[in-house]
Amino acid sequence: KEKEKEKEKEEKEKKKKEKEKEKEDKKEEKKEAAVVVEEKKEERGPLTGVKLVKTVYDSVADAEGELSFEEDQIIVVFDFADADWWHGIIGESVGYFPATYVEDIDVSEAPEELVEQAYLIQSQQK
């Protein structure tokens, strides 16, 4: 019986060590992924021809081709040549919107998926 108890104890210890190793491996993977993301961000350079803006008011589209949005949404803007009406994307919606309804934000303030989208659009404009 004592041998069985000892064997059980050893197996428990072994499983515990395996779980700890799995945790350590996952931590390492997360660290490596974070480093890759940071390196990718550093490689990007500045956004040109595209910008990220945050809506400061709600807006309901009056015509086809206009964007509707609520306050505090982020728009990826790819055409801001006109002083009054800019062209951008929110999610799957593309359209024009009044430039006075938004404010510029820094890339660091936007969710990563929108930053990725902005860089993708920038790369397609070249």
The hierarchical CATH code for the domain 51-125 is: 2.30.30.40
| Residue linked to tokens 């515990």 | 16
The predicted pLDDT at position 125 comes to 80
CA distance 125 to 99: 21
Burial label, 61 (beta-carbon count in 10 A; 0-12, 13-18, 19+): middle
The predicted pLDDT at position 6 comes to 84
Check: CB of residue 93 under 8 Å from CB of residue 67: yes
The predicted pLDDT at position 42 comes to 55
The predicted pLDDT at position 89 comes to 96
pTM confidence score: 0.65
Check: CB of residue 110 under 8 Å from CB of residue 102: no
Domain boundaries of the chain, sorted by first residue: 1-44, 51-125
Residues of the chain below pLDDT 50: none
The predicted pLDDT at position 104 comes to 95
